[in-house]
Structure 1
Amino acid sequence: MVKFPAAGRVKTRLARDIGSVAAAWWFRHSVRRLLRRLSDPRWQIWLSVAPDTALESSVWPAHLPRISQGQGDLGQRMTAAFEALPKGRACLIGGDIPAVTKREIAEAFAVLGSCDAVFGPATDGGFWLTGFKRSRPLPRGLFRDVRWSSAHALADSLATLSGQSHALVAELSDVDTARDLPKA
């Protein structure tokens, strides 16, 4: 899931610390490195892009298929992405997880062989990855009433699974503020 890297529109919490132009630059280059690092024949990378006007942007690699994130809060946009992707196992990540490697992505897909859902916890109480087997419909109310950008985001999201089985994979850090950059 990526946002068009426009100053003032992306990584706004990071921008409060380092400025909006620097935050947009960091995000654009972080996504570029991430896409190179995670390219693998075992899975197809899709870009879930916001805003809709950025779907055709030359910022993103032309060979990658794209879908719109649509409207709503993060949970509504993630649910829409899962519903728009081709059937089968799918995982979503953001573009701000500098430590993620193919190993963590492969582990998440492997977990979906025996569980309905997978989450990659983030060190701040949120999550850097969520995935679903999608062999049955997504839970009604998935990601509803989640306290996003808080230490409760993962726990709140797990509470919306409506009995679907889940597992956790490696804990990683995402970049929200300048304090997170040295870990990157």
Structure 2
Amino acid sequence: MDRPRPRLVIMVKEPRPGRVKTRLGQDIGYVRAAWWMRHRLRTLARGVTSPGWDTILAVAPDTALNSPMLPDLARIGQGPGDLGDRMGRLFRGLPPGPVLIIGADIPAITRAHVAAGFAALGDHPAVIGPASDGGFWAIGLKRSAAVPAGLFAGVRWSSPHAMADTLATLPFSRVARLPVLNDVDVASDLPAVGR
């Protein structure tokens, strides 16, 4: 029997001014923030795709599924709700096999980080990639059993508690950890990643 294909899901918002990277936009202007995100998406798509896994863009809003501003990859809508609702729906709705969800605004992420995430899911039911601000840049589930019903319930998103809250919703005793990587939220995050 063939093993189910791993799936990498990249959470993206259509890179339109005022709709994406709004905190960064407050610092550098909404047009520049949208341009940064659009460029970041092109770079990310080239940097993390691999024949070893399927790469899918989870797009918000759902009406942007056919946007020409997004990389030419398979696309699905994120649907309604907060980040936890949307990620939980992706974990429950995709075909069988390991799923690794990543953010699109992580400049240091490489194909090797994604490969390490899928490798960790060979031995663990879950994997998480911490960020230094208390959040996380990646979360993956092996999905060899049903996805927990309370996954992401009560997580304080965009706070220093996001990763700890998320881990508290996982019913697994073993969760692998990937290296710490940082996302770009505000202008002060840009110098650390070389703008």
Shorter chain as normaliser: what TM range? over 0.9
**CA displacement 1:124-147 (0-9 Å, x = unmatched):** 110000000011111121011111
Unaligned residue ranges in structure 1 (runs of 5+): none
Which of 20, 23, 26 is the aligned partner of 2:36? 26
**CA displacement 1:92-137 (0-9 Å, x = unmatched):** 1111000001111111100001111100000111000000001111
Which of 103, 106, 115 is the aligned partner of 1:97? 106
Which of 140, 145, 151 is the aligned partner of 1:136? 145
Which of 24, 30, 53 is the aligned partner of 1:43? 53
Which of 118, 122, 126 is the aligned partner of 2:127? 118
Classify 1:144/1:96 alpha carbon distance in 2 versus 1 (closer, same or farther; 3 Å): same
Report the aligned-residue RMSD.
Answer: 1.0
Bigger mean CA offset, 48-57 vs 79-88: 79-88
Pairing 1:8–2:30 present: no
Cα distance in 2 for residues equivalent to 1:33 and 1:42: 19
Structure (1/2) with the larger strand percentage: 2
- Structure 1's consecutive aligned runs of 4 or more residues displaced over 6 angstroms after TM superposition are none
Q: CA deviation at 1:164?
A: 5.2
Pairing 1:80–2:89 present: yes
Q: CA deviation at 1:83?
A: 2.1
Length, aligned pairs only: 183
Pairing 1:17–2:24 present: no
Unaligned residue ranges in structure 2 (runs of 5+): 1-10
* Identical amino acids, percent of aligned pairs: 56
Cα distance in 1 for residues equivalent to 2:174 and 2:81: 26
Asked if the contact 2:17/2:31 (under 8 Å) is kept, the reply is yes
Cα distance in 1 for residues equivalent to 2:149 and 2:175: 16
